[in-house]
Amino acid sequence: MTYPVKAEDPRANQKARTRAAIIAAAQELQRQGTLPTVEQAAEQARVSRATAYRYFPTKEALLVELSDITPALVPVEALLANLPAGDAEQRLLVVLDTFHRIVLADEEHVRAAERVYLDTWLRSHRNGDDAPVVREGRRMRWLETVLAPLDDLTPEGKRLLQSALALTMGPQAIITMKDVCRLDNDEALAVLRWAATALLRAALGEDPASVTTSRGQPGEYPIDGQAGPGGGP
Per-residue pLDDT of the chain (233 residues; tens, 9 = 90+): 555 655 555 666 788 788 889 988 988 988 888 888 999 999 999 999 988 888 888 888 888 777 767 788 889 989 998 888 889 999 999 999 999 999 999 898 889 888 888 888 888 788 777 766 777 778 898 999 999 999 889 989 999 999 999 999 999 999 999 999 999 999 999 999 999 999 999 999 876 666 665 544 333 434 443 433 333 33
Q: Taking a C-beta distance cutoff of 8 angstroms, is the pair 181, 191 a contact? A: yes
Q: What angle do CA 11, 58, 139 make, to 5 degrees?
A: 45
Q: How far apart (Å, rounded) are the C-alpha atoms in residues 135 and 16?
A: 8
pLDDT at 233: 34
pLDDT at 210: 63
pLDDT at 229: 34
pLDDT at 5: 57
Q: How far apart (Å, rounded) are the C-alpha atoms in residues 17 and 41?
A: 14
CATH number of this structure's domain 10-56, picked from the four choices 3.40.50, 1.25.40, 1.10.10, 1.10.3470? 1.10.10
pLDDT at 207: 61
pLDDT at 231: 35
pLDDT at 226: 42
- Chain centroid to Cα 39, Å, comes to 28
Cβ neighbours of residue 141 closer than 8 Å, sequence gap 6 or more: none
